[in-house]
Chains A and B, each alone.
Chain A
Amino acid sequence: MIALYGLVLLPLAGAAAAWLAGRASPRAPWSVAIATLVLLAGLLAYVTHAVPAGGGPWLAHVSAPWIPALGITLRCDMDGLGLVLLWLTVALSFPCVLLSSRDIADAPGTFHALLLATIAGVDGVFIATDLFLFFFFWELMLVPLYVLITVWGHEDRTRAAFKFFLFTQGSGLLMLLSILGLVVVHQHQTGVLTFDYFTLATTHLSPPLAMGLMLGFFVAFAVKLPVVPLHVWLPDTHTQAPTAGSVLLAGVLLKTGGYGLIRFVVLLFPDAAVRFAPVALALGALGILYGAWLALMQDDIKRLIAYSSVSHLGFVLLGVFSGSALGMAGAVVQMVAHGLSTGALFVIAGALQDRLHTRDLRRMGGLWPALPHLSATGLVFAIASLGLPGLGNFVGEFLVLLATWRVSPPIAILGAAGLVLSALYALTMIGRAFLGSPPGDGWAALPDFGARHMTVLGAAMALLLALGLYPQPVLDLSLPALPHDAARPIASPPVAPGGPRP
């Protein structure tokens, strides 16, 4: 299906258009970005609709030669997992642009161009099945975001962006080494030089070699997810990024880590992943507890939300390595729910910073009477974030814990203890920001959320509620795409040796 390319090319074209529009008028790039996103949503709806019924786990496929001499093709395949995450990306791009970037005064054309380029990279990551192409997209989403943070970030943006770049780039190089290693081993065995995911999945690897190559991938995705102790770039980056950047980072970019763990760690190296699972499970539980504990200690509201992300994504790691379809499904639901709830929380934190010119919780308090709508939405998403049953986060956490309990009850108990801590930091945040009495002599008149914010955030809330009460569509989509063994028959034949497909 050629439309898969469109998922990448459309935002890139939009980026170019937005950059050009920025020269015409300062408001035009925003409109261009909205139009691009609407078109992107339409294209994705078309792709979703065009999927043949009962066509197997791989829903769509497209391939074209790129560098035949090296066995590199422009191959993209989409499965249910990719589709879910593509929808999440589109859904979260709207609040980014609608709520956060309209008032960018500084070079709005470049800003929106970079934002759309990042989205293009993310879309590519979710569909690329040529490892070289995947790595290309992996880098494509990194660079624009780096610039976004360096130019439009907050007070300590240079250092934060540098840290973000070093961590992502350094771990990305490890992944590149693993990709090259895998390709070389495969060529050694079969004489075929290819970067094709499905062909490489059939490579026979000795256990130590498989473990080594898997670790290269794992570190790259573990940095992105993030996994404690590789999370240290995240609080700085999320805190210093402009609001749209924070939303995109937390909502979508972290999910590429979870996606990579599923697609390129567990499915590409199933045996090594099983052997590595005890370590990964322990790291997941550590992340849940450590992230929540540190979230509780933060005074900066964006840092608090950032650490809560570390905690939530520990559940994703648990689910991915629990070794069952149940855990994978839970991890996917958790990724979607976290994207919606944390993305919304970053919108709210950004709105608070715009109004109060501080992110320090010590200087907030008693905001509810001054900002009733903003406070109420803050409360709602904090409650979603603490995993209240009936909202999406609970479904993800429950499925993950159930899958974990089957493997290791002690780890599941530690994960459940994280739920207590999440209540602690979420309610503390609400209490410190919105309840109590205002510092000094009350708040001056502050602009509350208007209809635009309430509509977009209300839609996010409705999605979380739907995910919490009727997650079956997402579960069904995420399930068949997650065969635990990569040896499962692949829908399309591997690429012909060293050359373009006929």
Chain B
Amino acid sequence: MLALLPPLAFLPPLIVLCPLAAATILLLSAGRMPAPATRVLAAGAVGLAAVLTLWLAVRFLSAPPPTHRLDVVLWHWLRVGGFDARIAFTLDPLSLVMMLVVTGVGFLIHLYACGYMRGDPDVARFFACMTLFVAAMLVLVLSSDLLCLYVGWEGVGLCSYLLIGFWYAEAANGAAARKAFIVTRIGDAALLCGLLLLATRAGGLDITMLLQPGQPGGPVAEAAAALLLGGALAKSAQVPFQIWLPDAMAGPTPVSALIHAATMVTAGVYLIARLHPLFLAAPTIMAATAVLGLVTLLLAAGSALAQTDIKRILAFSTISQLGYMFLALGTGAWGAAIFHLVTHALFKALLFMAAGAVILRVHHQQDIFHMGGLGRAMPGVFAAFAAGAAALAGLPLVTAGFYSKEAILQQAWHASPLLWAGALLGAFLTALYISRCVFIVFLGPVRTAPTGRTEASMAIPLAGLSVLAITGGLIEMPDAIAPVHLLFRLLAPVLGPPPAEGGAEGGAGLLLLTGALAPLAGIAMAWVLWRPRAGTAAPAAGELARAARAGWGFDAAYGLLLVRPFLALGWLNRRDLFDRVPDLLAAATRWGAAVLGRMQDGRVRRYAGWIAAGTVAALCLAVRP
């Protein structure tokens, strides 16, 4: 029986091939395929990838290879002048977890998109980009060579560009798409420089080779880590690169769920976790990662609190939650960061899809102050959104978000109480802004009457993710509740042994309690501020609220300091400075010709004068003593 199964090494490339083949077929069909076939092909391909990934996981976990990794070399990519790069995959627990997230959540989102995009004339282009994205993301998490990873890294960026600008007739969508691509491309250039540095130092970019034990520290290690961090910050929309993500909400909602919440934006977290030995050799950069994560977490949470557009609330929330992951990475809590990545993928995809269901039912209205009382009209969507919101807020014990956030808080405390305090404030703010959103949208008086029904292809993913958002955290629990450490044990071969929950038992319990109280306090305060009342609700109008709503002025500052001077200088030089030089030469020639030409104007008197002058000059020279 076992002999009939294909070898394990066969599966990872096959899983990548499923969405890639679908994307290729959809691209080549150029929109001629009927819409139902398009939907079946796309969702089917990603679904098949998900099933194969599950099967792979079962086989990998039931009989793990002795080194806990499986290498699949596909082909030699570049072999020249002492540099060698391969297109090769490595399956290990970390990439397996990422694959499960990408294909699992990806499949549910594709299913949802079948309903959400019904009636769009360009559905083939949509699904081509979506499946291409899944393939690129799988390449990113499977690559065993950083240059191969970079293919996936830029590939997901391209798909993100294509999908944000999917409705291209609106100029603003195209601008948002460009902004997302350019800002992340700045990070990509930094990442590329990091790769150049590593390749120069090590002669190749094979990850195993780069991560050999005994990493030398020093300025080179710090520089390499800083450049890699730059790439990760831009991809994961962290300060100072966070400006592209809120605008990216111009894309269709399934895109926001898949790319700008669950998967692509977590690529930076994955990159750092994957290369953590390089970061351990660079303590300054580790500290910077933690601080930037915390700053992002608080700034974005503050912005989320002031938004009026439901998708922008979720976008800022994503930035903020990614800040938690970077905080965890900066404190060396690799496992906790990946754990939060997984739970966040579940509950944030759920929130986006539920929000999308709401938006469809209220005639594409996205302003929460024009919604209200929707809980009665759409109890199912309300339940799903509430489950996601509870998980995001980290409602103690009963949600996935609680356990993953708790793991980060514990680690932050051990790194620095200051970081912990900031993270705790963030937990409070998170509960506050998402409760505000729930109360205003689903409770109180009805402001826009919803119509239609949420169809089954959208309801099923909502239900599935609701269950996962509630229970997904049970794979990993603090000792004070129950000693369950499935995820950290699984990841231990890659990320090192799980951190001991240091300190006295009582101390850990107290930390846990504080961490549990913060979201409760946030929900309570939100109830005080935004509980359903009669009359019209309006967004806060203070100076602080306006600054927060505008994302704290980063956009304006970049515009003033970078974009405008660059464009202004370019405009001045649009005719190309160097191009004036030949023009000047030509003018000088013409002028010289005119001047000298005047000597031959046919006037004999002037010729005689010149001859006389010449003769005199010659005589003077001849008789000079």
Task: Scan B142-184; emit 1 where CB is below 8 A from any A CB, else 0.
Answer: 0000010011011100100100010011110011011001100
Interface assignment of B212: CB less than 8 Å from any CB of chain A:
no
Interface residues in A386-420 (C-beta closer than 8 Å to B): 388-390, 395, 398-399, 401-403, 405-406, 409, 412-413, 416-417, 419-420
Instruction: Chain A residues near B174: list those with CB within 8 A.
Output: 431, 435-436
Which of B76, B178, B182, B573 is within 8 Å of A297, CB to CB?
A: B573
Q: How many residues of B contact A (CB 8 A)?
A: 50
Which one of B185, B186, B196, B574 lies within 8 Å of A412 (CB-CB)?
B196
Known: A326-B83, A413-B193, A416-B193. A406 touches B200 (CB 8 A): yes
Whether the pair A383, B193 counts as a contact (CB closer than 8 A) is no
- Decide yes or no whether A277 CB sits under 8 A from chain B: no
* In the complex, A158 has a CB within 8 A of chain B: no
From known contacts A419-B192, A427-B182, infer whether A475 and B78 are also in contact, taking CB-CB under 8 Å.
Answer: yes
A472–B79 Cα gap in the complex (Å)? Answer: 7
Kindly report which residue of chain A lies nearest to residue B31, judged by CB atoms. Answer: A372
Cβ of B188 under 8 Å from chain A: yes
A412 touching B193 in the complex, CB below 8 Å, given contacts A297-B574, A373-B30, A403-B81:
yes
Asked if A472 and B78 sit within 8 Å, CB to CB, the answer is: yes
Query: Number of residues in A with C-beta < 8 Å to the partner?
Result: 56
- C-alpha gap A475/B83 in the complex (Å): 12
**Interface pick from B330-338, B463-471, B576-584, B615-623:** B576-584
Out of B87, B168, B576, name the residue touching A436 (CB < 8 Å).
B168
Which residues of the other chain, A, contact B189 by a CB distance below 8 angstroms? 416-417, 419-420
- Which residues of the partner chain B approach A15 to less than 8 Å between Cβ atoms? none
Which B residue sits closest to A167, measured CB to CB?
B582
Task: Evaluate contact between B150 and A389: CB separation under 8 angstroms.
Answer: yes
- Complex Cα–Cα for A298 and B573 (A): 10
Which of A327, A406, A420, A423 has most chain B Cβ within 10 Å? A423
Complex-state Cα separation, A470 to B74, whole angstroms:
11
The answer, yes or no, to whether A368 is at the interface (CB within 8 Å) is yes
Whether the Cβ atoms of A475 and B186 lie closer than 8 Å is no
Of residues 79 through 107 on chain B, the ones whose CB sits less than 8 Å from some CB of chain A are 79-83, 87
* B78 and A372 within 8 A (CB): no
**Which residue in chain B gives the minimum CB-CB distance to A404?**
B196
Q: A232-B578, A372-B30, A416-B193 are in contact. Are A427 and B161 (CB under 8 A)?
A: yes
Quick one: which of A383, A395, A435 has the most chain B CB within 10 A?
A435
Does A257 touch B at the CB level, under 8 Å?
no
Q: Does B571 contact A (CB under 8 A)?
A: yes
B67 to chain A, nearest CB (A): 28
* Nearest A residue to B574, CB-CB: A297
Shortest Cβ gap from B372 to chain A (Å):
33
B565 interface residue, CB < 8 Å from A?
Answer: no
Q: Mark A223-237, 1 if CB is under 8 A from B, else 0.
A: 000001101100100
Q: Which of B76, B170, B200, B582 meets A232, CB within 8 Å? A: B582
- Check if A389 sits within 8 Å of B199, measured CB to CB: no
B570 at the interface (CB under 8 A from A): yes
Bound-complex Cα distance A298 to B150 (A): 31
- In the complex, the answer to whether A423 meets B570 with C-beta atoms within 8 Å is no
- With A388-B154, A417-B189 known as contacts, the answer to whether A405 contacts B196 (CB < 8 A) is yes
Is B10 positioned at the interface, with any CB of A under 8 Å from its CB? Answer: no
A406 to B192, CA, bound (A): 14
Asked if B77 is an interface residue, CB under 8 A from chain A, the answer is: yes
Q: Bound state CA distance, A7 and B83, in angstroms?
A: 35
Assembly CA distance A405 to B169 (angstroms):
42
Contact, CB under 8 Å: A470 / B77: yes
Report B164 CB to chain A, min CB distance, Å. 12
* A-contacting residues, B190-204, CB 8 Å: 192-193, 196-197, 199-200
Out of A368, A369, A434, A479, which one reaches B80, CB within 8 Å? A479
- Give A293 to B577 CA distance when docked, in angstroms: 12
Question: Is A326 within 8 A of B80, CB to CB?
Answer: yes
Q: Is the CB of B200 within 8 A of A329?
A: no
Chain A residues with CB below 8 A from B79, complex form: 472, 475
Does B574 contact A294, Cβ atoms closer than 8 Å?
yes
In Å, the complex CA distance between A323 and B36 comes to 57
Answer whether A471 and B78 are a contact pair too, CB < 8 Å, given A163-B582, A296-B570, A366-B169: yes
Interface string of A194-235 (1 = CB under 8 A from B): 000000000000000000000000000000000011011001
Per the bound structure, the CA–CA distance linking A296 and B567 in Å amounts to: 9
**Bound state CA distance, A140 and B85, in angstroms?**
42
A383 contacts which chain B residues (CB < 8 A)?
158
**Nearest A residue to B85 by beta-carbon distance?**
A398
Q: How far is the CA of A81 from the CA of B169 in the complex (A)?
A: 46
Q: Which residues of B contact A353 (CB under 8 A)?
A: none
**B585 CB, nearest partner CB in chain A, Å:** 10
- Are B155 and A389 closer than 8 Å at their CB atoms? yes
Partner of A420, one of B82, B153, B186: B186
From residue B353, how far is it (CB to closest CB) to chain A in Å?
Answer: 27
How distant is A413 from chain B, measured CB to nearest CB, in Å? 6
Q: Looking at the complex, which one of A235, A325, A329, A403 makes contact with B576 (CB distance below 8 Å)? A: A235
Query: Are B154 and A389 in contact (CB-based, < 8 A)?
Result: yes
Would you list which residues of chain A between 405 and 458 have a CB under 8 Å from chain B?
Answer: 405-406, 409, 412-413, 416-417, 419-420, 423-424, 427-428, 431, 434-437
Of listed A297, A324, A325, A395, residue having the most chain B CB within 10 A: A297
Across the interface, do A420 and B182 meet the contact criterion of CB distance under 8 Å? yes
**A405–B573 CB distance below 8 A:** no
Q: Does A50 contact B (CB under 8 A)?
A: no
| In the assembled complex, A469 has its CB within 8 A of some CB on chain B | yes
- Report yes or no: A405 in contact with B168, Cβ–Cβ below 8 A: no
Inter-chain CA distance A373–B83, complex, in Å, is: 39
CA of A369 to CA of B153 in the docked complex: distance in angstroms?
A: 30
Best-buried of B153, B154, B581 by chain A (most CB within 10 Å): B154
CB distance from B503 to the nearest CB of A (A): 44
Report B191 CB to chain A, min CB distance, Å: 10
CA distance A458 to B154 in the complex (A): 22
Q: How distant is B620 from chain A, measured CB to nearest CB, in Å? A: 38
Contacts of B83 in A (CB 8 A): 326, 399, 402
Q: Which residue of B lies closest to A412 (CB)?
A: B196
Judge whether A405 and B155 touch: CB under 8 Å. no
Establish whether residues B185 and A368, one from each chain, have CB atoms under 8 Å apart when the complex forms.
Answer: no
User: Which of B75, B78, B571, B581 has most A Cβ within 10 Å?
Assistant: B78
Q: B310 → chain A, closest Cβ, in Å? A: 26
CA distance A8 to B475 in the complex (A): 72
Query: For residue A372, which residues in chain B have a CB less than 8 angstroms away from its CB?
Result: 30-31
Contacts of B77 in A (CB 8 A): 469-472
| Contact of A390 with B178 in the complex, beta carbons under 8 Å | no
Q: Which of A235, A401, A424, A472 contacts B192 (CB 8 A)?
A: A401
Q: Is the CB of B178 within 8 A of A428?
A: yes
For the complex, give the distance between the alpha carbons of A228 and B581 in Å: 12
Known: A297-B571, A469-B77. A427 touches B178 (CB 8 A): yes
Task: Give A429 Cβ to nearest chain B Cβ, in Å.
Answer: 11
- C-alpha spacing A325/B188, complex, angstroms: 26
- Check B573 against A294 for contact (C-beta < 8 Å): yes
Minimum CB–CB distance from B399 to chain A (whole Å) comes to 39
A392 to B158, CA, bound (A): 16
> Known: A326-B83, A401-B192. Contact between A232 and B581, CB under 8 A?
yes
Can you identify 5 A-B contacts, CB atoms within 8 angstroms? A232-B579, A232-B581, A297-B571, A388-B158, A435-B169
Chain A interfacial positions (CB closer than 8 Å to B): 163, 228-229, 231-232, 235, 293-294, 296-298, 324-327, 329, 366, 368-369, 372-373, 376, 383, 388-390, 395, 398-399, 401-403, 405-406, 409, 412-413, 416-417, 419-420, 423-424, 427-428, 431, 434-437, 469-472, 475, 479
Residues on B lying within 8 angstroms of A by beta carbon are 30-31, 75-83, 87, 147, 150-151, 153-155, 158, 161, 165, 168-171, 174-175, 177-178, 181-182, 185-186, 188-189, 192-193, 196-197, 199-200, 570-571, 573-574, 576, 578-579, 581-582
- A sample of 9 more A-B contacts (CB under 8 A), given A329-B80, A436-B169, A472-B79, is A388-B158, A389-B153, A399-B80, A417-B189, A423-B181, A437-B169, A437-B171, A471-B77, A472-B76
Please list the 3 inter-chain residue pairs (A to B) with the smallest Cβ-Cβ separation, ordered nearest first: A326-B81, A325-B81, A229-B578
